[in-house]
Amino acid sequence: MESYSLTNKEQTKADRLKQKEISECGTIPEHIAIIMDGNGRWAKGKGNVRVYGHKAGVDSVRDITEACAQLGVKYLTLYAFSTENWGRPSNEVNALIKLLVHTLRTEADKLHENNIKLSTIGQIERFPNRCQEELLDAIQLTKDNDRMQLCLALSYSGRWDITEAVKKMGEKIKNGELDPEEIDDKLIDEHLSTARIPDPDLIIRTSGEYRLSNFLLWQLAYSELFITNTFWPEFRRDELYQAILSFQLRERRYGKIDKGHTGSFTNKIINHITS
Ligand code: IPE
Ligand code: IPE
Ligand code: MG
């Protein structure tokens, strides 16, 4: 396994063993997506302002990113700021932007040293110039890295993504470059902001909310869900391991039937029902 340096901590022997066990237990999800929720409530519970929770949440991002890279996850998509989050009080929005800029500035080199490629989905152009520049610099610096892709969903919403894809296809139809009959799942995939990224295998949501909050609506069609009550600033690699172990126990049927069923068994039931 490759070395790390995102958390500035040496990996313990116990953690290395846990990762080995997980890898031997089953498939490591190729793509994990996370709705990082509960920063505000976590801070409030500690008698602090919401921004304190966002700041603490960065430590979780570091730990989870490092653990995913060590485990061999190929894509990690983090919901960091939704389209709807622009509706929060301006002091919170400004603090989040400041935190993003600061984090990019201090972490970009470490991502690069760890061979991690940074990318984004969402309306980046809605962010102030200094923030866009910081993002583009980090994306440019890490563009050839191939150990893992860390994709930040920023000013993102699933409905926005689908709307943009529809607009792009509509434009092509208008220009005579696309026949509506050619539109299928694959073509829609190719027009989404996640084109070239496989659908998430596992989606994790922290803070006990049972909703998607406009995250990857199209892409999550067959993703496995893992919801925990833990607030994001307290979500660390040990719980990530639980989520992966839970994922490994699932049978992904994609609407088909489980592999244990034989034709003769089904025939018996049909005979029973129709007799
Ligand atoms: C998630 O935590 C971070 C963002 C949405 C930016 P919240 O800020 O939503 O925290 P809660 O859910 O209000 O506790
Ligand atoms: C979802 O969390 C968005 C992000 C984690 C960035 P929210 O806190 O915005 O979602 P709701 O309001 O609970 O649905
Ligand atoms: Mg929230």
**217 is a domain residue:** yes
**195 is a domain residue:** yes
**261 is a domain residue:** no
CATH of the domain at 89: 3.40.1180.10
Residue type, 139: I
pLDDT in tens, 90-105: 999 999 999 999 999 9
Look up the domain containing 201 and give its range.
30-250
Cα 147 to averaged position of ligand 2 atoms, centre (Å): 29
Q: What share of the chain is helix, strand, coil (3-state, %, to 5)?
A: 50, 15, 35
Would you say 118 and 150 are in contact if contact means Cβ atoms under 8 Å apart?
yes
**5 is a domain residue:** no
pLDDT at 265: 65
At residue 1, does pLDDT exceed 70? Answer: no
**269 is a domain residue:** no
Q: Into how many domains does the chain fold? A: 1
CA 80 to ligand 2: nearest atom: 6
Q: Please indicate whether residue 214, judged by its CB atom, sits closer than 6 Å to ligand 1.
A: no
**267 is a domain residue:** no
Cα 174 to averaged position of ligand 1 atoms, centre (Å): 41
pLDDT in tens, 154-199: 999 999 999 999 999 999 999 999 999 999 999 999 999 999 999 9
**12 is a domain residue:** no
CA 239, CA 27: separation in Å to the nearest integer? 17
CA 37, CA 90: separation in Å to the nearest integer? 19
CA 144, CA 211: separation in Å to the nearest integer? 35
**95 is a domain residue:** yes
CA 247, CA 258: separation in Å to the nearest integer? 16
